[in-house]
A and B are shown apart, each in its own frame.
Chain A
Amino acid sequence: MMNKLNSTGFMARSLPLALCVGAVAFHAVAGVSSAARLTSSSIWTQTAEDTKDVVVLTNGRSVEGKILEETETTVRMMVRFAGIEAERSFDKGEILKITRDVIIKSKPSNKSTARSDQKSDQKVKASKVVGHGENKVYRIVLDGVFGEDITQTPIRAAVRDAKKYDVDYLIVEMDNDWSQALRGGLAENDLPDDIGAFDELFRAEDMDPVFTEDIPREWEKQPTLVFWVKSAMGGAAFLPLNSPKIYFSSDARLGGIGNLGNLFGSMGDEVVRQKQYSLRRGHAEGMAIRGGYEPRLIKAMSEREYVLSYKIVGGKAEFFERMPEAGERLLTDDGEGANADTIQELARSQGNDVLTLDADTAYDIGVSKGTVDTFDDLLYELDIARNYTMIDGKSEDIMDGWSEGLAKTKRTLRKLMREYGQIQVRAPGGYRERTRARGQRKSKLEEVQRLVRRYEEALTRRWLGQNGIPGDKDIDILKERIKLEQMQDRK
């Protein structure tokens, strides 16, 4: 037996089990989440669909929702957080201004609506032609499923398109799909933060060189890279960390990589599991360090037992690996005993056993430079709102083209394999008919291979296996066998 000190090679073998465990846990949580949401959604739809209350805090940020109760000292309001409603209370001492009943239009909540927003509303298109200033701005919207719609090939193509315009600002909007539909649940509900998506880190590592290597190497003038986070969950959480400039939208979240320690369950020996956790932390911390962020945040986001607090000193966050003392705030507790997140908290993504950054916390600890809900606000924050030109690039076409191509490819692959299985030798079944059938099979395989190669990075082994699609190298073997059959055949 060969002893290995390999790190990630293990993943292919462990994936089915990890996914299986994750799926069981997920269904249990999903049920609670759905029920909890139903109890409060009617209130929201009746009273908050058309208007909202906006509370501006002394730290400059604003919170939107519906005020439920106001006393002399506090304001209690219902806010919507990543599609889930939750109550929050504020001391009046930290409130600067309250604006009630601001008329709103219904807001898209996730990727699918965001995409239709781009396509039908033409918001992005409209904004492309704005401005004649000297700062050239290019926008790339990363929405959809991380690792499939959001993947290195279209990102690289979009960044290369931006390069053509010699842009000053490259703004990457991260809004990945984190709905339960990804794991067979309801699209309306978000996945829990502790679902164990840490290993999507390795997909993020496929993509980050576009920003961290290609741009420094290939661009003569370095653009300011800005990540605007709307939803950066799972592997998508790692990507913005490569950039020193991150902004959040007010309902944004960055995380969903909790419970690294459960990734392998009780498989094997503890020392090897610890090795696996350690090397993953090492990779993720490296990304944070490269972007200029505190690496301990990675532990806080991924390890249930890790405790991290902070306080602001001279405008910067100082971190402490303990429960908070006077003047400090808790980011994550140890998740033990009374500190363990309740199922209610987990269902509402409000737990603190592992850290998922929201806009407020991200701003407090310096991960986010500011909270902005519109692109115009972002430009304003970047101090270029009066002096910019929006580049009418191809990024939208590139990203959408990839997603549409991938969806179509999946359909086509299934169809091709069905057709491949149905190829039969026609009557009278002679040499000519057998040769013809082999030719048809080879031709189908070549079509499959062409598509598999083109979309290889986005076609997971799991998907290929579930749909009976052979991999690239398997197809080579099948083609060889057909060739050999033909050689053996006789007239």
Chain B
Amino acid sequence: MNSIKRFRGALLAVIAMVLTMAIFPASAIADTLHMKDGRTLEGTVVKEIEGYVWFKFMVGGIEQTQMFRPSDISSIKRDVPGEAQEPSEPEIEAVMPNESGEEQAFVPGVPRIAIITLGEEGGKDMVGIYMTAYALKEALPLLEKEHVTDVIFRINSGGGALLEIQRLSDVIQNEYKPRFRVIAWIESAISAAAMTSHAVEDIYMMPQGNYGACTGWSGQLVAVKGRQLEQVLYMMEKISARGGHDPKIMRAMQIMEPLSCTIEDNGDVTWYQNETDGEYLVNPKGRILTFNSQDAERYHFSKGTAATYEELGKLLGYDEYEWVGELIPGEPFPISKAERLQREFRAKTFEDQERTREYFDRYGSSIAAAQGTPRADRGKFVNRARKALNQLVRMVKNNPNLALFTFNMMPDQFPLWEEEQRELLRQLMQ
């Protein structure tokens, strides 16, 4: 009976795959995308869901895939004789077996939305340690396995390391956007967290949400200056372009530049890097901008405000959609496998961060004890040191960025350090 069920599941999965290919047959054909802003893009429609189009095209000789909203698109001309096509309506329900062997129905063409938290309360929020490109990449196979089409990043972070911003932005732009419609849902995105979220076009806020305060600093409130500052400003200009945000907004969040704006009747917003040209003063000179949810929505920076995932779902513009994950009592939204992975990653990292001094102390003191003990009696101390070393190694394996933040070395240098330590332990026993 079970084998029949497995066979049926596998067969249906194959059918689902064939159907998916049949529904989106245009992936190998040259298409033209006419944008409402007047641009015409030549390329290939890779995927379409509820009017959202993933379009592969060349920019400066580099192929890229970008998602466009229905509101951005004027028309699609396909390389098929005849008229522009509407996306096919899904008619057949496929069945996807999950890991437990149970069968979970899903409808191709109906958006499947997963929420992934980036940062959380309780000190698990630092960009670079708890919010990392590595952990986001690790989630990709799980999202694909669950046939996710839309990923919502629920952001709750007070900031972190500058160096992780570009990496996170690259993963979002190059790995996530070609595969999914990406949405940022902001509980708190301060500093590096806002700079990361800035690569996302569709930003929604929670009522209590905040977004901004992106000034780089170190030590006793000393600002990043000079050439390094220019590099960060330039990086954020490029990331602003990725998210379709006017770069003046991010500048006002970084360096006390004033910001004003005018909102046209059609909803278009024109931004000015001064206090006077715009109808609304968004940020006075001498201040650093942080949006609250009201201002973000008022100035059309965010697309809306939602307190719960149900409210957010209604704002996404779909007639029909599915949430991916398990509804667990006490949890504020369905927990997908990818979300579970993020939480486990943060929990392990947190434990390691809390215990780092203990690991180091145990390792160092054990080596010192071994060195001060006759060779014949060193075994117990070397074993103890080895256990502590293993904890340090596991810590970096779970979160490679800890090589940098804890050991002050690049992740690829860590194996060398580990080998040196193991050699030291071997020598102690010789």
Beyond A3-B216, A5-B159, 14 additional contacts (C-beta under 8 Å) are A3-B161, A3-B163, A3-B228, A5-B214, A7-B158, A217-B331, A267-B220, A268-B217, A270-B256, A271-B215, A272-B215, A272-B223, A281-B290, A286-B292
- Give residues in A with beta carbon < 8 Å to B: 1-10, 13, 205, 209, 212-213, 216-218, 264, 267-279, 281-283, 285-287, 289-290, 295, 473, 476-477, 480-481, 484, 487-488
Contact: A282 with B211, CB < 8 Å?
yes
CB–CB A484/B126 < 8 A: no
Q: How far is the CA of A2 from the CA of B192 in the complex (A)?
A: 14
From A268, A270, A282, contact of B190 by CB (8 A): A282
Cα distance A4–B195 when bound, in Å? 13
Q: A7-B190, A282-B290 are in contact. Are A289 and B221 (CB under 8 A)?
A: no
Instruction: State whether B290 touches A279 (Cβ < 8 A).
Output: yes
- Residues of B with C-beta under 8 A to A295: 292, 294
Which A-chain residue is minimally distant from B157 (CB atoms)?
A: A7
Q: Are A268 and B215 in contact (CB under 8 A)?
A: no
A-B contact pairs, 16 of them (CB 8 A): A2-B161, A5-B217, A7-B190, A269-B221, A274-B215, A274-B286, A274-B288, A275-B213, A278-B288, A279-B213, A281-B290, A282-B290, A282-B292, A290-B208, A476-B355, A477-B358
A488 to B331 CA separation, bound complex (whole angstroms):
49
Measured CA separation A272–B219 after assembly (Å): 11
Once the chains bind, are A209 and B208 in contact (CB under 8 Å)? Answer: no
User: Which residue of B213, B223, B224, B365 contacts A481 across the interface (Cβ within 8 Å)?
Assistant: B365
Tell me whether A289 and B361 are in contact in the complex, defined as CB-CB below 8 angstroms, given that A218-B330, A275-B191, A282-B211 are known contacts: no
Given contacts A269-B222, A272-B223, contact A488 B290 (CB under 8 A): no
- Whether B354 lies near A278 (C-beta < 8 A) is no
Partner of A487, one of B210, B217, B219, B381: B381
Establish whether residues B159 and A4, one from each chain, have CB atoms under 8 Å apart when the complex forms.
Answer: yes
The 8 tightest CB contacts between A and B, nearest first, are A268-B221, A282-B210, A286-B208, A7-B158, A282-B290, A5-B191, A279-B213, A275-B215
CA distance A269 to B220 in the complex (A): 9
- Complex Cα distance A242/B381, Å? 55
Cβ-based interface call for B135 (8 A): no
The answer on a CB contact under 8 Å between A3 and B365 is no
A275 touching B210, Cβ below 8 Å: no
Minimum CB–CB distance from A212 to chain B (whole Å) comes to 8
The minimal Cβ–Cβ distance linking A143 to chain B, given in whole angstroms, is: 26
Chain A positions within 8 Å of B208 at CB level: 212, 286-287, 289-290
For the complex, is B373 an interface residue (Cβ under 8 Å from A)?
yes
Tell me whether B293 is interfacial, beta carbon within 8 Å. Answer: yes
Please, how many angstroms separate the alpha-carbon atoms of A313 and B355 in the complex? 58
CB contact under 8 A between A285 and B223, given known A213-B332, A275-B215: no
Greatest chain B CB density within 10 A among A3, A9, A13, A205 is at A3
Does chain A have a CB within 8 A of B127?
Answer: yes
CA distance A217 to B310 in the complex (A): 13
**B223 lies within 8 A of A271 (CB):** yes
Please report the C-alpha to C-alpha distance between residue A49 and residue B197 in the assembled complex, in whole angstroms: 60
Smallest Cβ distance from B308 to chain A, in angstroms?
Answer: 8
Contact A473/B161 with A5-B127, A286-B210 known, Cβ cut-off 8 Å: no
Q: Which residues of B contact A281 (CB under 8 A)?
A: 290
Given contacts A278-B213, A279-B213, A282-B291, contact A5 B192 (CB under 8 A): yes
User: Chain B residue with minimal CB distance to A266?
Assistant: B221
- Docked complex: B353-394 residues within 8 A CB-CB of A: 354-355, 357-358, 361-362, 365-366, 369, 372-373, 380-381, 384
Please give, as numbers and ranges, the residues of chain A lying within 8 Å of B286 by CB-CB distance: 274
- B242 at the binding interface (Cβ < 8 Å): no
Given A4-B161, A272-B215, A274-B288, verify A487-B369 contact (CB < 8 Å). yes
Please, how many angstroms separate the alpha-carbon atoms of A472 and B124 in the complex? 18
Contacts of A9 in B (CB 8 A): 126, 158
A107 to B289 CA separation, bound complex (whole angstroms): 46
Q: Return chain B residues, CB-CB under 8 Å to A272.
A: 215, 217, 221-223
Q: Is the CB of B216 within 8 A of A10?
A: no
Interface centre among A8, A286, A487 (most CB of B within 10 A): A286
Q: Tell me if B108 is interfacial: C-beta within 8 Å of chain A.
A: no
Total CB contacts across the A-B interface at under 8 A: 169
* Cα–Cα distance between A2 and B288 once the two chains are bound (Å): 22
Contacts A5-B195, A209-B121 given; indicate if A268 touches B223 (C-beta within 8 A): yes
Q: Which of B121, B213, B219, B331 contacts A7 (CB 8 A)?
A: B213
Closest Cβ of chain B to A119, distance in Å, is 34
Most central of B191, B208, B215 by chain A CB within 10 Å: B208
Task: Check if B213 sits within 8 Å of A282, measured CB to CB.
Answer: yes
Asked if A275 contacts B293 (CB within 8 A), the reply is: no
* Contact present for B354 and A473 (CB under 8 Å): yes
A1 to B206, CA, bound (A): 35
**Closest Cβ of chain A: how far from B149's Cβ, in Å?**
27
Q: When the two chains form their complex, are residues B380 and A487 in contact, meaning their CB atoms are under 8 A apart?
A: yes
Complex partner residue of A275 from B161, B217, B294, B354, CB under 8 angstroms: B217
- Given A264-B221, A272-B217, residue A278 in contact with residue B289 (CB < 8 A): yes
B243 within 8 A of A: no
Least CB distance from A99 to B in Å reads 44
On whether the beta carbons of B330 and A217 are closer than 8 Å, the reply is yes
A218–B332 CA distance with the chains assembled, in angstroms: 10
**Minimum distance in angstroms from B208 CB to a CB of chain A:** 3
Contact B293 A286 (CB under 8 A): yes
CB-defined contacts of B372 to chain A, threshold 8 Å: 488
Whole-angstrom CA separation of A58 from B211 in the bound complex: 43
Question: Contacts A4-B160, A4-B218, A5-B161: A269 and B358 contacting too (C-beta < 8 A)?
Answer: no
Q: Are A285 and B221 in contact (CB under 8 A)?
A: no
Shortest distance in angstroms between B111's beta carbon and chain A's nearest beta carbon? 25
Q: A5-B127, A275-B191, A484-B366 are in contact. Are A476 and B358 (CB under 8 A)?
A: yes
Please measure, in the bound complex, the distance between the C-alpha atom of A389 and the C-alpha atom of B215, giving whole angstroms.
54
**Nearest A residue to B218, CB-CB:** A3
CB-CB contacts of B270-303 with A at 8 A, as 1s and 0s? 0000000000000000111111111000000000
Chain B residues with Cβ under 8 A from A487's Cβ?
369, 380-381, 384
What distance in Å separates the Cβ of B344 from its nearest Cβ neighbour in chain A? 21
Taking CB atoms, residues of chain B closer than 8 Å to A473 are 354-355, 357-358
In the bound complex, CA of A174 to CA of B213 (Å): 32
Q: How far is the CA of A488 from the CA of B192 in the complex (A)?
A: 47
Residue-wise, chain B 5-22 has the 8 Å CB interface mask toward A (1 for contact) of 000000000000000000
B258 partner residues in chain A, CB cutoff 8 A: none
Which residues of B lie under 8 Å from residue A286 when comparing CB positions? 188, 206-210, 292-293
Which of chain A's residues have a CB closer than 8 A to the CB of B405? 2
Contacts of B121 in A (CB 8 A): 205, 209
With CB as the reference atom, state the residue of chain A lying closest to B408: A2
Structural contact, B216 and A480, CB atoms closer than 8 A? no
Once the chains bind, are A217 and B332 in contact (CB under 8 Å)? yes
With both chains docked as a complex, state the minimum distance between the C-beta of B129 and any C-beta of chain A, in angstroms: 10
Decide if B400 is an interface residue (CB 8 Å cutoff).
Answer: no
The answer to whether A5 touches B357 (Cβ under 8 A) is no
Q: Which residues of A contact B211 (CB under 8 A)?
A: 282
Chain A residues positioned under 8 Å from B41 (CB to CB): none
Is B73 interfacial (CB 8 A cutoff)? no
Question: Which residues of chain B come closer than 8 Å to A283, judged between CB atoms?
Answer: 188, 210
Cα distance, A5 to B127, chains bound together (Å): 9
In the bound complex, residues from chain A placing their C-beta under 8 Å from that of B307 are: 290
Specify which chain B residues have a CB less than 8 angstroms from the CB of A4 in the assembled complex: 159-162, 216-218
Is B143's CB within 8 Å of the partner chain A? no
The complex places the Cα of A481 from the Cα of B288 at a distance, in Å, of 47
Flag whether B304 is at the interface (Cβ < 8 A): no
A7 to B308, CA, bound (A): 25
Q: B212 in the interface, Cβ–Cβ < 8 Å?
A: yes
For residue A265, which residue of chain B has the nearest CB? B221
Cα–Cα distance between A295 and B298 once the two chains are bound (Å): 14
Q: A278 with B290: in contact, given A10-B221, A269-B222, A271-B256 (CB under 8 Å)?
A: yes
Complex Cα gap A275–B212 (Å): 9
CA distance A416 to B163 in the complex (A): 45
Q: Which one, B190, B330, B384, contacts A279 given CB within 8 A?
A: B190
What CA separation (Å) do A272 and B254 show in the bound complex?
Answer: 9
